[in-house]
Amino acid sequence: MAITDLFEQVRKKKPLVHQITNFVTVNDCANATLAIGGSPVMTSSPKEVADMVKLAQALVLNFGTIDDMSLEAMEIAGKTANDLHIPIIVDPVGVGSTPYRTEKAMELLDKMTVQVIRGNASEIHRLMGGDIVTRGVDSGALSISNAELALLAARKLNSVVVVSGAKDAVSDSSQTSIIDNGNPLLTKVTGTGCMATALIGAFCGVTGDYYSAAIAGISTMSLSGELAARNLKDNEGTGTYRTRIIDAISKMDQSIWGSEVNIHEEIAL
């Protein structure tokens, strides 16, 4: 299925995206899912996540505010999703910042099959066993490009990998794409990465082509950030910008995406 067709499919099928996510950005993730046409559910109790996953078309696991209970819920939900062949999208928020967070993320990936992983460069590098230290949820500096990192991580982690940054990169180990959209203001609003992962989840809920779904999700977020910044007035700041991002997501379709996205494929290394 072409990437442009996915926008219509999401709005037609309204995939239920079960998200075990963090309490800082849970509302934004739900609103982003609704804006693109999906249906969010944010159940996180270990006592009911298995039953909720059975109703969903995609499962998003976000590490933003993990604790022992949320990790238990993620394990139960992930096993259920694997048993039912429901795609899992993992957002390793802050991995590399503390030993606990890093260890638990790696343990989780060992316990389930994950279709898509989205993080910034330092988070993805740390998941691969690198020693760069993540500064909270911010990315540290790496000597390789996001495209190279995405490709290497996809090979090592056996998943579609999305590396967010000034230029986003997506790889499934055999093909790698770079999306050159976005705006620096995206780094001034909390939750934009989490929203991107939620969007990827919505697209994964309507196709088995997770590489295309990942491209659709991350590019929708970056492009919406670009369009939102373009529409800001001189007296408007980051609060209005946050709202305009949701507006841009809600208006995104194959026509806008096709005319505004700046994407190209990299030659595999």
| Contacts of residue 208, Cβ cutoff 8 Å, sequence gap at least 6 | none
> Treating both helix axes as pointing N-terminal to C-terminal, what angle do 68-84 and 99-111 enclose, rounded to 10 degrees?
20
- Give bridge partners of residue 160 from the DSSP assignment: 116
Q: How many domains does the chain have?
A: 1
Look up residue 241 and give its amino acid: Y
Residue 258 covered by a domain: no
Output the 3-class SS for 69-135.
HHHHHHHHHHHHHHHHCCCEEEECCCCCCCHHHHHHHHHHHHHCCCCEEEEEHHHHHHHCCCCCCCE
Cα-based torsion angle of the residue sequence 239, 241, 243, 245 in order, rounded to the nearest 10 degrees:
-150
Residue 60 belongs to a domain with what CATH number? 3.40.1190.20
CA distances from residue 93 to 102, 139, 211 in whole angstroms, order as listed: 10, 10, 21
Structure tokens at 200: 């990827």
Residue 116 lies in a domain: yes
pLDDT given for residue 138 in this prediction: 47
Report pLDDT for 204: 98
CB-CB contact of 177 with 219 (8 Å): no
Q: Classify residue 42: in a domain, yes or no.
A: yes
Q: Yes or no: say if 154 and 268 are a contact pair by the CB < 8 Å rule.
A: no
Tens of pLDDT, residue by residue, the chain (269 residues): 689 999 999 999 999 999 999 999 999 999 999 999 999 999 999 999 999 999 999 999 999 999 999 999 999 999 999 999 999 999 999 998 899 999 999 999 999 999 999 999 999 999 998 755 454 444 455 678 999 999 999 999 999 999 999 999 999 999 999 999 999 999 999 999 999 999 999 999 999 999 999 999 999 999 999 999 999 999 999 999 999 999 999 999 999 999 999 999 865 55
User: Which residues form the domain of 210?
Assistant: 3-163+185-219
Q: What is the dihedral of CA 169, 225, 249, 89, to 10 degrees?
A: 30
Assigned domain for 180 exists: no
37 is a domain residue: yes
Please classify residue 208 by burial: count the beta carbons closer than 10 Å to its beta carbon, then call 0-12 exposed, 13-18 middle and 19+ buried: exposed
For position 208, what pLDDT does the model report?
Answer: 97
Q: What is the C-alpha to C-alpha distance for residues 253 and 256, in angstroms, rounded to an integer?
A: 6
pTM above 0.85, yes or no: yes
Q: Is residue 208 part of a domain?
A: yes
Assess contact for 40 and 62: CB atoms under 8 A: no
